[in-house]
Amino acid sequence: MTIAVPSLVTLEAAALAALAAAPDAAGIDDWRAMWLGRQDGRITGLLRSVKDQPAPERASFGGAANLLKGRVEAALAEKLGGMKSAALRELTTTAALDVSLPGRPQTIGRLHPVTQTLRDIIAAFGEMGFRVAEGPEVEWDRYNFDAMRIPADHPARDMWDTIWVDSIIGGKRDMLLRTHTSPNQARVMERQAPPIRVIVPGKCYRQEATDATHEWQLTQVEGLAVDEGVRMSDLKGILYEFARRMFGPDRKIMFHHSYFPFVEPGVEMAIDWPVKQADGSTTYKWVEILGAGMVHPEIIANHGHDPKKYTGFAFGLGVERVALLRWGIEDIRHFYANDLRFLSQF
Ligand code: PHE
């Protein structure tokens, strides 16, 4: 069979016209089967017929047929591309996709206000020569109380309503969630000789009624300095400097005498706390942020050092209280209520 060149032209025109008329993807599939189908596509058949051409025409016929196929395939690719962008255009109107809208902001985490405050406290004491030590949150009775001169049945135990761990050895409840970081005074003195300058940050637990300035879980920073010639004036100097760094030079600070079995003499330090009233006015209240004093000589002796040679001071600072005062927060219970509206303000 011989196909004349004019009929190649007709064939190509018919293929292109049918392609242009294909309305959608399904129409294009039908068109492809009809013209380019492997079995009996008309252009496929045309190429197959090259070998049936008389020898002198075979080469030029084959060349023309291949060019034809190339042009038709190019037209197909163009049609497919056009359909794709038409579909996208359609989508931008029907799905109302506005590519000019700003993206959704990533929510970025941040440090809890208590953690931020703790880090600033550690930095302030670090600059004053204190290094950081750590101790266990689940503590032995003998460190939490006995080592701190609070024997069993001593009324001073009532200063801290203890959360006990359900463990009894030798008929005695012996394990608890530490009520303060002070047991680390003993732990540090046991393993280190003076000069000692440490702070010990960590969580403490007290089974007590909560209110605007009390939580059953609290963070403390214990401070301990033991050396030759450490005096009460050193303690006051360090704590004044800390308060200046934390709250600025204008904030009011008050020391007053207090009792803790492990120090002699003992003090508490308070800061003025501005509380906004309903009528818009502000009233001030003293809020204690730490207990402190001179380490009791018995504790120095009991942990391996000579109290005639060495003296020391200790303090225990409430980190949530510092955070409360620094930002003027009206209720300490916000810190552990897990409310992002509160937490994201810091
Ligand atoms: N441990 C005491 C408390 O939690 C605070 C304190 C520490 C007092 C060190 C004096 C010296 O209340």
253-288 pLDDT, tens per residue?
Answer: 899 999 999 999 999 999 987 778 889 998 888 989
Cross-strand partners of 293 = 266, 314
* Residue 125, both tokens: 């004491």
How far is residue 21 from each of residues 17, 102, 128, measured CA to CA in Å? Answer: 6, 40, 85
Q: Is 260 in the pocket of ligand 1 (CB under 6 A)?
A: yes
32 is catalytic: no
Q: How sure is the predictor about 3, in pLDDT bands with cuts at 50, 70 and 90?
A: low
178 is catalytic: no
Predicted pLDDT of residue 1: 47
CB 102: neighbour CB atoms within 10 A?
Answer: 5
Q: How sure is the predictor about 5, in pLDDT bands with cuts at 50, 70 and 90?
A: low
**Most distant pair of Cα atoms in the chain: their distance:** 124
CA 299 to chain centre: 40
In this structure, whether the domain defined by 113-343 belongs to CATH 3.30.930.10 is answered with yes
Nearest CA to ligand 1 atom 8: 291
Predicted pLDDT of residue 207: 85
The single residue listed with the structure tokens 């800061």 is 271
Residue 214 has what DSSP assignment?
B
d(CA 201, CA 32): 76
Q: Which of 187, 206, 296, 303 is catalytic?
A: 206
Residue whose C-alpha is closest to residue 312's, from 321, 302, 322, 320:
302
CB 36: neighbour CB atoms within 10 A?
Answer: 16
3-state class (DSSP) for residue 199 = strand
Average of per-residue pLDDT across 2-22: 83
Provide the residue ranges of all domains of the chain, joining segments of one domain with +: 5-94, 113-343
Which of 75-89, 222-236, 315-329 has the highest average model confidence (pLDDT)? Answer: 222-236
Cα(318) to centroid(ligand 1), Å: 9
Residue whose C-alpha is closest to residue 182's, from 209, 217, 210, 146:
146
